Structure formats: C-alpha cells, structure tokens
C-alpha cells in the first residue's frame, strides 16, 4: 500500500508549484554536501509545502549500513545542520522516506540493487516512476555513473515517466575534458535530462539580477556602454583550503571558481533580454555573452591576468599558516589561491567596458558582490565650488553572506558651501521580505523536480566557460610563478591585482564585513 499520507501542516502558506512526485537518488550520500545542504534543503521544501507528498530519497554510499541505521545518522546530522526550527512531526514524515543502498559506484551489482530499491520505493511512496540522480561524488565518477544508470535502464523515459541527472561542479578540469565528459554523458542521455548545477544560482540576489534589470524601467535603459564605466565581480573567502588541500592543489582558484560561478554571474549581468523566462530562451542569451568574451592571446594573459598564493598572516587576530604549509599541499606548490582578470565583451552593448573579476582565499572579508560603476557626470557645473572631484555612482549587488542591493550616489552636505558626500541606499532581502530558511539548494532541487532547467548550465555554456580560461591555464603552466607566496593572509591579494585597475584610473570596491 503506497504511503501517501499528507505532510503535517506548515506554519506558512505555500508559494509556488508543488514538485512532481519523484524519488531522488544521491550518489555519495555519506559526504558533507548531503548532510549540510541537500537534506536540509529537502526538509525546507517540505516545510514550505513545495515537496510532493509522493516523494522519497535513496542514498547510495560505500559505508555498510541498513536503512534504519542511515535514518538515525540523518537525524543526528540534521539536528546540527537544520537552517531553522525543526518540526518533529514533519521530520518524522520526512525521515520515513529516506532509504539507503550500500555499494560501489563501479560495481554493476550496485545498480541492480538500486533498481530493486527504486521499484519498492515507487510502490511504497507512489513516486510515479519519476527519478532524478544527484552526483555528490568525486568528479571522476560523473560519466561512469550515468553510463551505469543507462546500462540498467534507469535513464529510459517511457509511459510518461521522467529521469534526470544533477551533476555537481567541477564539470571537467579544462576544455578538452569538459567536451569529453559531455560526449560521454550525451551518448546515453539527452541534454534535457542533464542538469549541471551551480549552487550560486540558488542565491536570491543572483536570480534577482534578471528581475532588477528587466522589471524596472529605470535600469535597463542605462545598462550599457554609454552609461557604465566598468563592472567588478568579486568572490572573496576568508578561509584557506582547510582539509581540501589535496583536491585544491590539483584545481586552483581559476578552475575552481571562474568557468562556473563567475561566468554565470557575468552572463546574467551582461545578457540581452530573453524573449521569455523559458529555460532555453534565458540560456541562449547567456551563451551569446560567453561566446562574445574576447579570447586571450598569450601576451594578453600576461597583462590582463594576475595570480597569487597566500602566505602566512593574521586573520581575526590569530596567526594562520601559508598555503604551502596546509595539510595535503606540497611545500613547493605552484597552485594559485587568488585570481584577478580583466575581460572585454565584444558586442554592441558592452564594447569597451572592462569586466574585472577576482576570487581568492584568505582575504579580509567573506563576500560575493557585483559592482556596476557608472560614468562620472560632467564636472563643468562644479568648477568654481569646493568640490574637487565627482564620485561615480555605483550599484552593488550583494550575493553573500547578506543578500541585497545598494546604490551609491552623491548628495550635498548641509551648510552654506557646495560640498558633496557619498550616500548609500541599502536594500536587504531579510529586512523587506523576512528571513527564510535557505541553504541555496532549495530552488535548484525544486526546479529539477518540475523540469525547469533555467538555472542550470547547458553543454555549450560549460564549454564556452572553459574556452575562456583555457589560454590562461596554458600560459600559467608554461610560465610557473616565481614569487609565490605573494600576498599575506588577511589582505586583498597581491599588489598586481590593484595595479590591474589603477593603471586605468580605477580601484576595487572592498567589503570587509
């Protein structure tokens, strides 16, 4: 008998469409991502009445456990990582839908056990034969797991059933590997079945870029090279590599952040208006921007990119080690922990407007933001006043940790003389719309369940992102850095990053909170 009892009534009314009945399969369920993000996100969807009552989760991991033992572990983990108050009745409803399969991802028998489990789950929870598979595994398993699913008939869509795969980053480690992975997956699945996830797109402010630009008549008319001087995108982290030194040293800041997170922010900030919010209409315009970014020559890599590696220093009053002293990192590592890049987009809207990107670890503040700096107003009116310079207006999209938007403009200071001061008008989501329990994955998981791929990358977008950074990777490999480490922990990166803007009369906007 299918268990289709209703969820306990939530405190808040539902806003949005209920997800389709389905089962979610998590490969690598024992990892941090599941307990920190995925389970809390699914619970939040249930509390918002956006999760179907005909839903189940099947976790696959190498740790020998029964389903009951796994449920106990999930419950203990959830007490630690829940994003808000826990409703005991709702959690009890939810935990009864969690199942576990022990197996090796390379063993065909694992897929046989999964198929049997899904058949039983489908019968017990009435999931309507709809399954989606989440790759919370090491990247080297992505292609082989999808092939294993296909070989056992688990990617086949018939009788109105759907099958989808969510693939975490990194999707490849360069252009060639990204193309090879796309080819491997698309031999056994269609593009509409593949959801390449970027959790940054689950942030409210990232999604609000489209609303800000296209729902407000005051912004879109000035969103172009005639009014905008330049755009900055910063992804700053205060942490070092922590326990991920072994993985990080094979990737580095460029691979880890630029082809995915930062390229998505660029494409949403710079894209032309889509004809609708239908997935491919939005992604078509994003792809056009990525293809319009001017490719680097070898000489331009030397003049338009900066790399850095943190040394020891002081963070929050405490000494922290250099990158080369971190666990799992070779003492002579040449891997970059900081990147700054100047890009140009070769189209009618953005010709001549530089896009400055930077990302790094052990910086003074943890924040992600997009700064749109407008051209200065003419000074002629103020030439006989005490005003010595006119400050440019800045529109800042704050993405994390606080989500919001601020606008900087000039206003006259009180008094008889003409003096100007900088004023910031700030909007924060929590102040206007209330604080919501959110991991950043709720929207993305829900979108996959309803078949909306708008916030997921297509194959051509992934490859376009890699094609932009590939020349940089090649030059950096051919010319190893001579001065690593070149910035102490607790500062805003190497001095060359500041010089990248200063030689053109600009400077970074830093946020240290």
Cβ contact 82:142 at 8 Å: no
Span 73-122, pLDDT tens digits: 999 999 999 988 999 999 999 999 999 999 999 999 999 999 999 999 99
Give first-to-last CA distance, the chain, whole Å: 54
pLDDT recorded at residue 34: 94
Give yes or no: residues 308 and 451 share one domain: yes
Give yes or no: residues 407 and 460 share one domain: yes
Decide if 138 is inside a domain: yes
Span 260-280, pLDDT tens digits: 999 999 999 999 999 988 889
Indicate which residue of 261, 369, 398, 446 is catalytic.
261
Decide if 15 is inside a domain: no
Cβ within 8 Å of residue 40, ≥6 positions away = 78, 81, 82, 83, 437, 439
CATH number, domain containing residue 29: 3.40.50.720
Cβ within 8 Å of residue 459, ≥6 positions away = 182, 186, 191, 194, 196
- pLDDT score of 353 more than 70: yes
Domain boundary, last residue among 141, 166, 198: 198
CA distance 251 to 334: 11
Decide if 145 is inside a domain: yes
Number of domains in the chain: 2
Cis peptide before 485 (omega within 30 of 0): yes
pLDDT recorded at residue 408: 83
Give yes or no: residues 144 and 248 share one domain: no
Give yes or no: residues 134 and 213 share one domain: no
Q: What is the DSSP string of 307-327?
A: EE-EESEEETTEEE--GGGST
Give yes or no: residues 307 and 181 share one domain: no
Give yes or no: residues 176 and 235 share one domain: no
Comparing 163 with 15, which gets the higher pLDDT? 163
Closest CA to 402 of 423, 380, 429, 383: 429
Span 396-430, pLDDT tens digits: 998 888 888 999 877 777 877 666 777 788 888 77
Domain containing residue 263: 201-502
Decide if 13 is inside a domain: no
Domain boundary, last residue among 155, 173, 198: 198
Decide if 4 is inside a domain: no
Give yes or no: residues 360 and 437 share one domain: yes
Decide if 512 is inside a domain: no
Is residue 173 annotated as part of the catalytic site, yes or no? no
CATH number, domain containing residue 424: 3.30.360.10
Give yes or no: residues 325 and 431 share one domain: yes
- pLDDT score of 235 more than 80: yes
Give yes or no: residues 172 and 311 share one domain: no
Decide if 5 is inside a domain: no
Give yes or no: residues 361 and 491 share one domain: yes
- Which residues lie across from 101 on neighbouring strands? 60
Name the most confidently modeled range: 191-200, 211-220, 227-236, 384-393. Answer: 227-236
- pLDDT score of 11 more than 60: no
Domain boundary, last residue among 149, 181, 198: 198
Q: What is the pTM of this model?
A: 0.89
């Amino acid at each position: 008998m299918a268990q289709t009892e209703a969820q306990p009534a939530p405190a808040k009314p539902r806003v949005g469409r209920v997800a389709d009945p389905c089962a979610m399969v998590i490969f690598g369920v024992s990892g941090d991502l599941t307990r920190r993000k995925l389970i809390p996100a699914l619970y939040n969807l249930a509390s918002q009445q956006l999760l179907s009552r005909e839903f189940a989760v099947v976790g696959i991991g190498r740790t020998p456990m029964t389903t009951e033992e796994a449920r106990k572990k999930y419950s203990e983990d959830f007490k630690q990582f829940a994003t808000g108050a826990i409703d005991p009745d709702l959690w009890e409803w939810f935990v009864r839908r969690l199942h576990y399969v022990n197996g090796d991802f390379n063993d065909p028998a694992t897929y046989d056990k999964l198929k049997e489990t899904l058949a039983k789950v489908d019968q017990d929870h009435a999931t309507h034969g709809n399954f989606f598979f989440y790759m919370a595994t090491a990247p080297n398993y992505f292609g082989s797991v999808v092939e294993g699913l296909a070989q056992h008939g688990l990617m086949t869509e018939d009788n109105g059933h759907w099958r989808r795969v969510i693939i975490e980053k990194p999707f490849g480690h360069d252009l060639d590997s990204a193309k090879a992975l796309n080819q491997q997956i698309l031999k056994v699945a269609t593009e509409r079945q593949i959801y390449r996830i970027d959790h940054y797109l689950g942030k409210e402010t990232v999604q609000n870029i489209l609303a800000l630009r296209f729902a407000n008549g005051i912004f879109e008319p000035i969103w172009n090279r005639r009014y905008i001087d330049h755009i900055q995108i910063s992804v700053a982290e205060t942490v070092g590599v922590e326990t991920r030194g072994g993985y990080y040293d094979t990737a580095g800041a460029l691979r880890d952040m630029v082809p995915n997170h930062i390229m998505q922010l660029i494409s949403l900030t710079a894209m032309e208006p889509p004809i609708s919010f239908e997935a491919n209409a939005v992604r078509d315009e994003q792809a056009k921007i990525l293809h319009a970014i001017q490719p680097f020559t070898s000489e331009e890599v030397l003049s338009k990119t900066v790399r850095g590696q943190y040394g020891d220093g002081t963070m929050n009053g405490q000494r922290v080690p250099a990158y080369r002293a971190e666990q799992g990192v070779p003492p002579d590592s040449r891997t970059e922990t900081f990147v700054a890049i100047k890009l140009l987009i070769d189209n009618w809207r953005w010709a001549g407007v530089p896009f400055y990107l930077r990302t790094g670890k052990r910086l003074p503040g943890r924040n992600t933001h997009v700064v749109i700096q407008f051209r200065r107003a003419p000074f002629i009116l103020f030439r006989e006043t005490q005003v010595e310079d006119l400050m440019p207006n800045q529109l800042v999209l704050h993405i994390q940790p606080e989500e919001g938007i601020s606008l900087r403009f000039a206003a006259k200071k009180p008094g008889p003389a003409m003096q100007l001061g900088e004023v910031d008008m700030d909007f924060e989501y929590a102040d206007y719309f209330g604080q919501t329990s959110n991991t950043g994955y709720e929207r993305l998981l829900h979108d996959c369940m309803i078949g909306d791929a708008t916030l997921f990358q297509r194959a051509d977008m992934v490859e376009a992102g890699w094609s932009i950074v590939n020349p940089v990777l090649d030059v950096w490999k051919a010319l190893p850095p001579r001065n690593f480490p070149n910035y102490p922990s607790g500062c805003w990166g190497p001095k060359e990053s500041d010089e990248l803007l200063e030689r053109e009369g600009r400077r970074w906007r830093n946020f240290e909170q």
